[in-house]
């Protein structure tokens, strides 16, 4: 907010005013070229190492990025639009509100998206050097203590934050720019269409009930033994997901056989009703998923003993008998 709002206003002013552009655009271009990490010592000298310094650092970093993005966007407006506005008697301010501001909205939205992502990079990088109580400081302290699991956890948090912010800003851009054309996705190739059918048949939207416990359990186990085995984590995740997929597929098969899912009432599956696969193929697909999960489970049995075998057989029977 501190850096973005002034940047948008000044960017509109520089783009709309020739004399302002002549006076201030060289300075803005020069300051933008300075590496933002080089400003950090000056910010820390003035504001100390508290939260205020981090806020000022982020504000300064995103200010020039957003300023130039909005300013360049205003310059891209076709002069013909201003000619039409003046032909209808629009004055200077009327032309700004009816032409400049609406036409520069795509550049403003783009600058917000760029600024938000850059702000996340700057705040994490600043905490690497200046410390603090944020995610960047958490990752750096974990690195110094060789706590790899905590370091990866911090990276995951940063990634999730960035993805969530990108989704929010993309949705905001759609709402702010309803006139913008939406690009249609390119037509899928034959291979992509076939892969999509196989993937949809697994009902991947239900996998959160499986991968979330695996992620949490792996983090707890790694914290207890102070070691993270990435190969074992991937195998555990793959085994759990294949069991889940097998349960979904056999559930679709038996629901179809029992008449629960019909064309008029597709339930939550639908690969049989859409004609993607035959009922027998869906059953075989599910059994193949169970078999793959069982093979992965046998590997863990060889590593951890018979208790895992009992637990795996119970899970396999529960998944299959639940659907049948």
The per-residue pLDDT for range 205-249, each reduced to its tens digit, is: 888 888 888 887 777 777 777 777 778 888 888 988 998 898 888
Domain boundary among 132, 154, 176: 176
Instruction: Give residue 320's pLDDT band: very low, low, confident or very high (50, 70, 90).
Output: low
Is there a domain that residue 100 lies in?
A: yes
Q: What is the pLDDT of residue 82?
A: 78
For residues 117-129, give the mean pLDDT: 76
Distance CA 292, CA 54 (A): 50
How many structural domains does the chain have?
2
Nearest to 241 by CA among 216, 283, 271, 211: 211
Contacts of 290 (CB under 8 A, 6+ apart): 242, 243, 246, 250, 316, 319, 320
Is there a domain that residue 122 lies in?
A: yes
71/162 same-domain check: yes
Domain boundary among 117, 142, 176: 176
Per-residue pLDDT tens digits for 159-212: 888 888 888 888 887 777 776 666 666 787 888 888 888 998 888 888 888 888
Domain boundary among 148, 176, 204: 176
Instruction: Give residue 324's pLDDT band: very low, low, confident or very high (50, 70, 90).
Output: low
Q: Which two tokens stand for residue 56?
A: 């000022």
Which is more confidently placed, 27 or 288?
A: 288
8/32 same-domain check: yes
**In terms of residue numbers, what domain contains 51?**
4-176
The number of C-alpha atoms within 13 Å of 303 and in the hemisphere containing its C-beta is 11
Is there a domain that residue 185 lies in?
A: no
Q: Which residues of 83-113 are buried (b: 16+ CB within 10 A; e: fewer)?
A: eebeeeebeeeebbebbbeebbbbbbbbbbb
169/294 same-domain check: no
Is there a domain that residue 110 lies in?
A: yes
Alpha carbon of 46 to those of 35, 41, 122, 310: distances in Å? 18, 9, 18, 64
Among left, alpha and beta (phi > 0; psi -120 to 50; other), residue 78 is beta
Neighbouring CB atoms inside 10 A of 220's CB total 11
223/290 same-domain check: yes
Neighbouring CB atoms inside 10 A of 281's CB total 15
97/167 same-domain check: yes
Distance CA 14, CA 27 (A): 12
167/198 same-domain check: no
Q: How many residues does the chain have?
A: 324
Per-residue pLDDT tens digits for 55-87: 777 787 788 888 888 888 888 888 788 788 888
Is there a domain that residue 14 lies in?
A: yes
151/286 same-domain check: no
Q: Which residues of 175-207 are buried (b: 16+ CB within 10 A; e: fewer)?
A: eeeeeeeeeeeeeeeeeeeeeeeeeebbbeeeb
Q: Which two tokens stand for residue 21?
A: 């552009």
Is there a domain that residue 28 lies in?
A: yes
110/213 same-domain check: no
Distance CA 237, CA 214 (A): 6
124/13 same-domain check: yes
Per-residue pLDDT tens digits for 277-287: 998 999 999 99
Is there a domain that residue 198 lies in?
A: yes
Contacts of 310 (CB under 8 A, 6+ apart): none
Is there a domain that residue 184 lies in?
A: no
56/109 same-domain check: yes
172/194 same-domain check: no
228/144 same-domain check: no
Domain CATH number, residue 29: 1.10.3720.10
For residues 125-151, give the mean pLDDT: 72
Q: What is the DSSP letter of 131?
A: -
In this model, does residue 264 exceed pLDDT 50?
no
């Amino acid at each position: 907010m501190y850096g973005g709002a002034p940047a948008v206003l000044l960017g509109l002013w520089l783009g709309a005013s020739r004399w302002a552009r002549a006076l201030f655009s060289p300075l803005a271009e020069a300051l933008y070229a300075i590496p933002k990490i080089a400003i950090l010592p000056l910010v820390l000298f003035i504001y100390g190492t508290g939260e205020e310094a981090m806020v000022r650092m982020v504000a300064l970093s995103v200010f020039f990025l957003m300023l130039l993005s909005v300013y360049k966007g205003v310059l891209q407006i076709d002069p013909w639009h201003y000619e039409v506005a003046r032909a209808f008697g629009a004055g200077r301010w009327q032309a700004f509100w009816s032409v400049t501001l609406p036409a520069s909205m795509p550049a403003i939205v783009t600058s917000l998206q760029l600024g938000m992502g850059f702000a996340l990079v700057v705040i994490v990088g600043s905490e690497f050097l200046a410390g603090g109580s944020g995610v960047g400081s958490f990752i750096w302290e974990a690195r110094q203590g060789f706590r790899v699991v905590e370091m990866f956890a911090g990276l995951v948090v940063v990634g999730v934050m960035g993805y969530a912010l990108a989704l929010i800003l993309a949705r905001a851009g759609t709402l702010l720019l309803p006139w913008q054309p939406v690009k249609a996705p390119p037509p899928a190739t034959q291979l992509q269409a076939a892969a999509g059918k196989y993937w949809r048949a697994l009902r991947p939207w239900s996998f959160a009930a499986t991968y979330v416990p695996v992620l949490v359990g792996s983090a707890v186990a790694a914290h207890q033994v102070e070691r993270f085995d990435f190969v074992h984590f991937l195998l555990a995740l793959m085994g759990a997901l294949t069991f889940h997929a097998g349960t979904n597929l056999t559930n679709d098969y038996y629901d179809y056989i029992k008449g629960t899912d019909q064309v008029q009432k597709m339930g939550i599956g639908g690969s049989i009703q859409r004609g993607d696969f035959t009922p027998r193929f869906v059953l075989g697909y599910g059994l193949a998923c169970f078999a793959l999960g069982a093979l992965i489970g046998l590997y863990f049995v060889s590593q951890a003993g018979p208790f895992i075998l009992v637990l795996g057989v119970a899970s396999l029977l529960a998944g299959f008998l639940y659907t049948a």
